[in-house]
Amino acid sequence: MHYPVLCAEALAYLAVRPEGIYLDATTGLGGHTREIAARLTTGLVIANDRDRESLEFARANTLEFADRIRFCQGTFSELKEAMRAQGIENVNGLLADLGVSRYQLTEAHRGFSILADGPIDMRMDQSQRVTAGDLVNSAAEKAIADWIYQLGEERRARKIARAIVRARPLRSTLHLAGVVERAVPRTGRLHPATRTFMALRMAVNDEPGELDRLLAMAPGLVAPGGRIVIISFMSLEDRKVKEHFRDLGRKGRAEVLTKRPITPSEKEVDDNPPSRSAKLRAVEMK
């Protein structure tokens, strides 16, 4: 079962119009794309993702609306070109549901999983050259510690980085998870390697840089009166989105529609526990 996170809320903030043109920058398995497409008549959704495998699932999950969806593979940085290729200058709404999908996280061969053994890969776009395995096996100890500290918000980053470098070569996700687990004891509910895996995933996919580029570019992609809706799962990301939207508001370029972030209902969290940390923010361009 696939649950698009904060789906009703995302659609309400996008204010989908039947004849509108929408850009789903992170189509993933097509959950939000499908719901947007279902509300269109003459309108169109551009469904983008950097992950080719996910796009195949999205295509299969949205077949009944195929005439209203154009798929494209690329990063946030390439969205402008993707729109141009469709002959589209701007859209009535842009949605970005950041991070990775359940599918990417749980499929062992994609190498994101702490629980299922696989190569230490973690690339969203599998044509990218550098994998997370390259990072743990060749980067400097200090760089690894900085990623784990800054991106994973893990206080024990230095200890973990030292253990990783000593255990080289790291061969698989379970090998890496075990090395981290032996270096730092479990303190709570989370597996001790959770934050390390998250940090490596963010580093190898340059997620902070991609979010910066998305935020810089989005206002230029959305027509006046159109909406930008962003769902994030990490405080680092939510902070960036909040500050950027506040800035657009101050400059008179957009109206901030969410004074506070919108979060999932208790029911949604019960039905889909990974949604618990989701935060949605939206602006309307002037």
For binding to ligand SAM (CB under 6 A), which residues are involved?
4, 26, 28-32, 49-51, 54, 75-76, 97, 99-101, 124, 210
Whichever of 26 and 113 has its CB closer to ligand SAM, that residue is 26
CB of 109 to ligand SAM, least distance (A): 15
* Closest approach of ligand SAM to the CB of residue 51, in Å: 4
Closest C-alpha among 196, 198, 191, 279 to residue 233? 279
Give the up-direction half-sphere exposure of residue 123: CA atoms within 13 A in the CB hemisphere: 14
Indicate the residue among 29 and 199 with the shorter CB distance to ligand SAM. 29
Cβ-based nearer residue to ligand SAM, 59 or 159:
59
Closest to ligand SAM by CB, 28 or 219: 28
Identify the burial level of 270 via C-beta atoms within 10 angstroms of its C-beta, where 0-12 means exposed, 13-18 middle and 19 or more buried: exposed
Strands 279-285 and 254-256: antiparallel
**Cα-Cα-Cα-Cα dihedral of 129, 135, 139, 143, to 10°?**
120
Residues 6+ apart with CB under 8 A from 253: 219, 285, 286
Strand runs (DSSP E) across 1-147, as ranges?
Answer: 21-24, 44-49, 69-73, 91-97
Specify the residue for token string 């994101």: 112
Residue type, 285: M
Report in angstroms how near the CB of residue 78 gets to ligand SAM at its nearest: 8
Minimum CB separation of residue 107 from ligand SAM in Å reads: 12
State the Cα–Cα distance between residues 185 and 206, nearest whole angstrom. 28
- In the bound state with ligand SAM, the residue whose beta carbon lies nearer, of 4 and 20, is 4
Q: Which is nearer to ligand SAM, 29 or 69 (CB)?
A: 29
Contact between 11 and 3 under an 8 Å Cβ cutoff? The reply is no
CB of 25 to ligand SAM, least distance (A): 6
The distance of closest approach from Cβ of residue 278 to ligand SAM in the complex, given in angstroms and rounded to an integer, is 9
